[in-house]
Amino acid sequence: MTSDTALAPVGSRTALQVEGVSKHFGGIRAVNGASFSVKDGSITALIGPNGAGKTTLFNVITGFYRPDSGRIVYEDDSIFGKPSHSICQRGMVRTFQITKALAAMPVMDNMLLAGPNQPGEKLLGLMTRPRRARAVERELEDKARELLATFNLDKKADDYAGTLSGGQRKLLELARALMTEPSMVLLDEPMAGINPTLGRRLLEHMETLRSERGVTFLFVEHDMDVVMKHSDEVVVMAQGQVIAHGRPEEVRADQRVVDAYLGGAGTEVSEVAPKPSEGAQRKVSDAKSVLRVNGLVAGYTPEVDILNDVEIDVREGEIVTIVGPNGAGKSTLMKAVFGLVRPRAGSIELHGESITGERPHNVTRKGVSYVPQLDNVFPSLTVRENLELGAVAGSSIDVDERIARMFDLFPRLEERQSQQAGTMSGGERQMLAMARALMPEPHVLLLDEPSAGLAPAFVDAIFEKVEEVNATGVTILMVEQNARRALAMSDRGYVLDLGSNRFEGPGSELLADPKVADLYLGGGSGRVDAPADTDTRSDRA
């Protein structure tokens, strides 16, 4: 699309200016002094690893969160701290990562709702100008039909939005946003979970709107091929800050961006002592399989499979890390193993016994513990209470003794045992979450992004703890964004992409493979096909 940029009405004018914006939640700095600008009439992508603060920044810009500090200027007006509805009324509209189609309302009502300045939406307007209200309603209906037709939703106009497929809901959300007559549209992962044909249609619409009406787009997206091909500029976030900003090819070549995705600079990795390879080899060859995943297919919305034929084998005493770009299905795999997502096909075996489709509480009783990526502690309970809850009722474990063991492993938790978990920093919470998961003495610990969103100092501490836990004999299956650091300490690693296995092998080998790095930033040799268009996504649908 770079060839089109000359034709497209990308003005030199700035549509949106964000300066030093911060938003903290308790001890977590979700957005920490982010600054960037979006040119009028441009399509700008906002990318970054999980936990970089992209969605939080979206929420801050559109008034859903109140920023702590900074400056946000939209079309020469400050919108800092303004309520969300007034920001929409100024012409900046957003969509949500998880679609907010108003399910129990017909598609047409969803559309009409978005019309701006409707006299019929005011009680006074209804009483004083009923005729005008009806006229506006008719105009809106025509406009809505037209828009629905361009999104191939016109036949669905009278159906409840809840009956639409996931992809159609995404299109409805964009069509609905356009009903507000916006001059700028913010899209949070518009392409996630929709099939390639719909995805392509959505991209075409964005480009048409930009060239015909000069609409500015800012979108968060994980599919790097889409980002690199369809955006004029790319803003890269990591750790709550903007670390790079420029044209797609500049950003892709930027070492800081590569580091942000793979974790740590290349030089740093060599400093990290890799697991002694002899030991690792011994485990790999001799140890028997603990957890085996075969041909696993799973997903959330009907028709859309997030996981597609995934094979994983974890052996006794190993640390196995799953890496891969955002949206690869890593977290879904963890949830499927733990029973939070029901597999559609394939099998999961623990010690040779099937646990496919078991409920999470039964999986826990069989010796598998899980630390979710988010919301993994009970914030209003104390540290000790969190640990007590982690023990499984009816088991023979002496809770007090087990808590004492956890305090040995995580001395910090002992200091804070009577403090409410919600008041602790992100790193401390992560340690508590791990300790809680270890309470029932599991054989296997599933860790979903243990280092996400943590300050660098804590990242090291967490990884050290993971190794310590492993040394006590617990087998670990971990998903990590910080690929370099995690692979360096793993016995083996798997690289997932678009819901399937891509590469596997000893951690150190994967670490050295340039194809793995390419996978993260798109356009490299990692993908089977050159990413000419969205068809490369077809294996997800």
Return residues touching other proteins (CB under 8 A): 62, 64, 83-86, 88-89, 93-96, 98-105, 109, 112-116, 118, 120-123, 126, 133, 137, 160-163, 176-177, 179-180
Task: Give me the least distance between CB of 463 and other proteins, in Å please.
Answer: 36
Pick between residue 192 and residue 474 the one whose CB is nearest to other proteins: 192
Q: Which is nearer to other proteins, 27 or 116 (CB)?
A: 116
* Closer residue to other proteins in complex, CB, 162/266: 162
d(CA 408, CA 416): 13
Give the DSSP H/E element, type plus range, for residue 437: helix 426-438
* Closest approach of other proteins to the CB of residue 145, in Å: 17
Torsions phi, psi for 500 (to 5 deg): -135, 160
Tokens of 203: 């991209």
Which of 302, 394 has the CB closer to other proteins?
302
Quote the radius of gyration of the chain (alpha carbons, Å): 25
User: Cα separation of 237 and 234, whole Å?
Assistant: 10
CB of 61 to other proteins, least distance (A): 12
403 membership: H or E segment, kind and range: helix 399-409
Shortest separation between residue 75's beta carbon and other proteins, angstroms:
16
Which are the contacts of 251, defined by CB distance < 8 A and separation ≥ 6? Answer: 234, 236, 244, 245, 257
* Residue closer to other proteins, measured from CB, 100 or 361: 100
Task: Residue 440: name the closest of 398, 379, 468 by CA.
Answer: 398
Closest CB to other proteins among residues 96, 520: 96
**CB burial of residue 328 (10 Å; 0-12, 13-18, 19+):** buried
Q: How far is CA 406 from CA 38, 294, 403, 437, in A?
A: 48, 34, 5, 10
Q: For other proteins, which is the closer residue by CB, 178 or 226? A: 178
Of 126 and 517, which has the nearer Cβ to other proteins? 126
Closer residue to other proteins (CB): 78 or 163: 163
CA distances from 63 to 23, 29, 38, 92, 184 (A): 12, 18, 17, 11, 15
Backbone dihedral region of 91: left (phi > 0), alpha (psi from -120 to 50 degrees) or beta? left
First to last CA, the chain: 24
Report, in Å, the least distance between residue 148 CB and other proteins: 16
How big is the chain, counted in residues? Answer: 541
**Nearest distance from C-beta of residue 192 to other proteins, angstroms:** 14
State the nearest-atom distance from the C-beta of 15 to other proteins, in Å. 18
CB of 300 to other proteins, least distance (A): 11
Q: How far apart are the C-alpha atoms of 102 and 172, rounded to whole Å?
A: 10
Closest approach, Cβ 216 to other proteins, in A, equals: 17
Q: What is the largest CA-CA distance in the chain?
A: 84
For strands 233-238 and 14-25, give the pairing. unpaired
**Which two tokens mark 86?**
């007034």
Quick check: helix, strand or coil at residue 238? strand
Q: Are the C-beta atoms of residues 507 and 490 closer than 8 Å to each other?
A: yes
Residue among 118 and 395 whose Cβ is closer to other proteins: 118
DSSP code per residue over 141-210: HHHHHHHHHHTT-GGGTTSBGGGS-HHHHHHHHHHHHHHT--SEEEEESTTTT--HHHHHHHHHHHHHHH
Q: How far is the CB of 198 from other proteins (least distance, A)?
A: 18
- Considering the complex, state which of residue 109 and residue 467 has its C-beta at the smaller distance from other proteins: 109
Two structure tokens written together for 88: 């929409």
Smallest distance from other proteins to CB 97, Å: 12
Looking at the Cβ atoms of 5 and 89, the one nearer to other proteins is 89
Distance of closest approach, residue 162 Cβ to other proteins, in angstroms:
3
